Amino acid sequence: MPSGRVHRTEHSVEVDAAAGVVYGLISDAVRWPLFFPPNVHVEQLEFDGTHERLRMWATANGEVRSWISQRVQDPQERRIEFHQTRPQAPVETMHGTWTVEERPGGTSLLTLLHDFTVAGDRPADVEWVERACDSNSRAELDNIKRLAERWTRLDELVLSFEDSVRVKGPAELVYDFLYRVADWPDLIPHVSRLDLTEDSPGVQIMSMDTLTADGSAHTTESVRICFPHAGRIVYKQTATPALMEAHTGEWSVVPDETGVKVVAQHSVVLREEAVERVLGAGADLATARRYVRQALGRNSTATLELAKRHAESAIRVL
């Protein structure tokens, strides 16, 4: 049983978009890391069309937190109820509801409710959770509004692609190269600086300076979640270059009967208002898509080739 009293928060936003569009954004939790600033990664563990179980990673008051969440989706009522089955301290219980109300003129009202208890109900812990709920809820609702009101143009703004190489070497050596990101300034020419914190095993927080083909430097900040047994590293940039509103990605190492396939996957939301400022007068979204595809693809392919060389040369030495 919960040991503290129940605390409640409520946040809402009016959206100039149809209720069905808004509900679609909140129902697809796997895409939240690309669309919502606090969310780092979401794994859908189970889903039968109504009941859903998710493993979620998100930032809260500057910390990376993780929990298991159960959701019940009701698309007819445009309502989603959720509760955390494995909350992280100081949260003891966390329940909530998303509701989307249709308004006249094709607009909608989105409301997010949280009910939670805190172990021991200490004021400092309660304040921490309230602050996290407030800042994350505001960020999520603001971005849902921004995305829903540009819904018809999302196909132009969102860009997803991948590059891959084949490696004749052990998957473990490839993964090791991708995991040891702190060593990248010594191993990868386009990485000039990298600061890494890994307080929890497999949860890496990093700040990195990279060089593009034209010699310009970009500083990014990212959170990486590492799954060594699955050969996967997923990440979200929490501070992006000017052209990108959001950037998520994944490194995956996939062994098969002939060797290893290593894949670098990227998903990006372009920042339309920055296109001409960054790329020059007359540049449009098509220009920005080509530029981002080439810049990200060039750097990730270079990293893949170096991982390949690392794994294959180690085998030759042995």
Q: Strands 107-118 and 91-103, how do they pair?
A: antiparallel
What percent of the chain is predicted at pLDDT more than 90? Answer: 89
pLDDT, position 318: 43
Per-residue pLDDT at 35 exceeds 70: yes
pLDDT, position 258: 83
**55 touches 71 (CB < 8 A):** no
Total Cβ atoms within 10 A of residue 32: 23
Helix or strand run (H / E) with residue 301: helix 285-317
The pTM score is 0.92
**195 touches 183 (CB < 8 A):** no
Average of pLDDT values for 254-273? 94
**Mean pLDDT, the chain, whole residue set:** 93
Indicate the DSSP class of residue 89.
T
Helix locations, 88-189, DSSP H? 123-148, 154-157, 171-179, 184-187
